[in-house]
């Protein structure tokens, strides 16, 4: 019997409960409620922003070396509590314990990386035509940052945003996804325990219908960083238009992998299966479209189907599970709906395509690793983001045709090519319209110091990760002093 944990939100520099609660379900066994979190009211959110402004003042004036030390301690706390946190994460999200353990480790790496970055120079000395004048450029914190995050990497995505935001000296109001809020509250606890001033972090939980307007409409907000669906991201941009605040949106994807006839087909099938089906396909960088040269298409599909069928679906905490469930019943029925539409439009279901059989799978939100063959570019499945373990395969006649079809998408997050030809690799890297491009590697799996973000409707001009992330979290002041 799983114990239902109770959480408070973190608002006004303290842990805050509420009479109304949100249930957090276990996707591996949907009737089990693993936790309850407060469904805060709009008044509490407004209160949170006032404290965040004070937090920005305190933390922004904290010595950068001390800021780095706090982030480093937060990373150490995450690592000390890794097995407990991975379990919580797996229980509320459905990813396997191995995947959740990897996520805790990578989240700690974000704080370790930006703990060091906090010490780097924060400006430049520049020439000035005026006599006896010393002019410099300062990069200073923007102030109060609203971070809105999705359920698919519920610890990693907040860490990717909070680590550079705090390294730069900002306060953050964090709104985690309602399907997976508890791990964000655990991250908040780790940061406060590490010595972050409690005023500098506000983590609110609640229904968007009730708090959305005050969450996004607060005049205290200096910057909004969002990761989630393209629809919500674009709506957010419209809502803040005219307020002249910076907005960073990392949104949907429809990531393509191209397999040429000269590729190592075993490597391609194994890599594409891992990138398409790990985390049950619920990764923004998951491979969802495969363009294969016609002469090797059938041999490739045969291999991909064999790998897909070898991936055991099951509960997140079962060590034999390779593919966990979808995050929710809603997501499960959405993905199954996409497969049904593809089949109705003429695609062949070569593997999976169902919720699976047996009592264990029926209890959870499963979709079996799915390979769709004979897909054409006019099918809905080719254009629409599925966000589940579904890979669609289409035959092409050349690299040029493959790149053209890969680019014919409103999305541009990540893409991969499988080939032994350096010339094909160079053509692909030059011509592909995606923020991340890989050769003989998966579309997923980028490191904390690699600039990350999509083109077109997948992202915004501000990159995440690496040193470049600081551009979003700082503003630039040019200062001139004439000595008298």
Binding site residues, ligand NAP, CB under 6 A? 148-152, 175, 177-178, 208, 212, 216, 227-229, 232, 235-236, 250-253, 284, 385, 387, 413, 454, 458-459
Q: How far apart are CA 325 and CA 256, in angstroms?
A: 23
Which element (helix H / strand E) includes 33?
Answer: strand 29-38
Q: What span, in angstroms and rounded, lies between the C-alpha atoms of 454 and 45?
A: 31
Give me the residues paired with residue 436 across strands: 414
**Measured from the CB atom, is 156 or 322 closer to ligand NAP?**
156
Instruction: Say how far apart CA 399 and CA 259 lie, in whole Å.
Output: 9
Q: Long-range contact list for 22-25, CB < 8 A, 24+ apart?
A: 22/178, 22/181, 22/205, 22/206, 22/207, 24/92, 24/179, 24/180, 24/181, 24/182, 25/92, 25/179, 25/328
C-alpha distance from residue 447 to each of 334, 444, 464, 466, 484 (Å): 30, 10, 11, 9, 49
Q: If you ran DSSP here, which 8-state letter would residue 278 be given?
A: G
- Minimum distance, C-beta of residue 93 to ligand NAP, in the bound complex (Å): 11
> Rounded to the nearest whole angstrom, what is the least distance from the CB of residue 46 to ligand NAP in the complex?
15
CA nearest neighbour of 481 among 131, 92, 171, 209: 131
Could you tell me if 335 and 313 are in contact, meaning their C-beta atoms sit under 8 angstroms apart?
no
Contacts of 420 (CB under 8 A, 6+ apart): 262, 263, 264
Residue closer to ligand NAP (CB basis): 222 or 293: 222
- Which one, of 40, 14, 17, lies nearest residue 197 by Cα? 14
Closest-approach residue to ligand NAP (CB): 228
Active site residues: 250, 284
User: What is the spatial distance between Cα 459 and Cα 340, in angstroms, rounded to a whole number?
Assistant: 29
Cβ 130 to ligand NAP, closest distance in Å? 45
Q: How many Å apart are CA 371 and CA 351, to the nearest integer?
A: 5
- Spell out a b/e string for 292-318, using b for 16 or more CB atoms within 10 Å of the CB, else e: bbeebbeebbebbbebbeebebbbbbe
Query: Looking at beta carbons only, is 336 or 413 nearer to ligand NAP?
Result: 413
User: Would you say 16 or 385 has its CB closer to ligand NAP?
Assistant: 385
Cα radius of gyration (the chain): 23
Q: Tell me how long the chain is.
A: 484
Closer CB to ligand NAP, 49 or 59, in the complex = 49
Nearest in space to 338 (alpha carbons), one of 370, 311, 366:
370
For residue 48, the SS3 value is helix
For residue 445 the two structure tokens come to 């799996």
Task: Find the shortest distance in angstroms from Cβ 317 to ligand NAP.
Answer: 23
- Closest to ligand NAP by CB, 66 vs 235, is 235
- What are the counts of helices (DSSP H) followed by strands (DSSP E) for the chain? 16, 22
Our CB check for ligand NAP shows the closer of 159 and 419 to be 159
In terms of CB distance, is 186 or 385 closer to ligand NAP? Answer: 385
Task: Give, in order, the Cα–Cα distances in Å from 361 to each of 100, 291, 309.
Answer: 20, 31, 15
């Amino acid at each position: 019997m799983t114990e239902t944990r109770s959480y408070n939100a973190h608002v006004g520099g303290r842990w805050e409960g509420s009479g109304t609660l949100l249930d957090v379900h276990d996707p591996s066994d949907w009737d089990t409620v693993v936790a309850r979190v407060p469904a805060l009211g709009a008044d509490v959110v407004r209160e949170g922003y006032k404290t965040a402004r004070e937090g920005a003042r305190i933390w922004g004036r904290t010595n950068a070396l001390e800021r780095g030390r706090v982030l480093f301690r937060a990373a150490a706390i995450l690592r000390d509590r890794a097995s407990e946190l991975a379990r919580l994460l797996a229980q509320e999200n459905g990813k396997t314990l191995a995947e959740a353990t990897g996520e805790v480790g990578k989240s700690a790496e974000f704080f370790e990386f930006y703990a060091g970055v906090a010490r780097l120079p924060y400006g430049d000395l520049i020439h000035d035509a005026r006599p006896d004048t010393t002019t410099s450029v300062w990069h200073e914190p923007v102030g109060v940052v609203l971070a809105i995050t999705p359920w698919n990497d519920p610890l990693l995505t907040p860490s990717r945003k909070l680590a550079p935001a705090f390294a730069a000296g900002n306060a953050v109001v964090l709104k985690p996804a309602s399907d997976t809020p508890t791990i964000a509250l655990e991250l908040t606890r780790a940061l406060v325990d590490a010595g972050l001033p409690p005023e500098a972090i506000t983590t609110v939980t609640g229904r968007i219908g009730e708090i959305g307007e005050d969450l996004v409409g607060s005049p205290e907000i200096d910057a909004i960083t969002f990761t989630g669906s393209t629809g919500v991201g674009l709506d957010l941009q419209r809502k803040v238009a005219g307020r002249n605040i910076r907005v960073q949106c990392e949104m949907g994807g429809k990531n393509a992998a191209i397999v040429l006839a000269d590729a190592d087909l075993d490597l391609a099938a194994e890599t594409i299966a891992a990138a398409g089906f790990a985390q049950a396909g619920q990764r923004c960088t998951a491979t969802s479209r495969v363009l294969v040269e016609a002469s090797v298409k059938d041999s490739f599909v045969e291999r991909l189907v064999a790998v897909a069928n070898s991936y055991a679906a099951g509960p997140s905490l079962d060590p034999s599970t390779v593919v966990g469930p979808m995050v929710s019943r809603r997501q499960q029925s959405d993905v199954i709906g996409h497969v049904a539409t593809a089949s109705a439009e003429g695609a062949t279901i070569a593997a999976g395509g169902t919720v699976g059989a047996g009592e264990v799978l029926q209890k959870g939100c499963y979709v079996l690793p799915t390979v769709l063959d004979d897909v054409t570019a006019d099918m809905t499945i080719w254009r629409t983001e599925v966000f589940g373990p579904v890979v669609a395969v289409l035959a092409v006649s050349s690299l040029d045709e493959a790149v053209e079809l890969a680019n014919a998408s409103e999305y541009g997050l990540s893409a991969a090519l499988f080939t032994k030809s350096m010339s094909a690799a160079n053509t692909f890297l030059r011509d592909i319209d995606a923020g991340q491009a890989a050769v003989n590697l998966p579309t997923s799996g980028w490191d904390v110091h690699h600039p990350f973000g999509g083109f077109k409707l997948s992202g915004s001009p501000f990159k995440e990760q690496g040193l470049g992330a600081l551009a979003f979290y700082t503003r630039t002041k040019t200062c001139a002093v004439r000595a008298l």
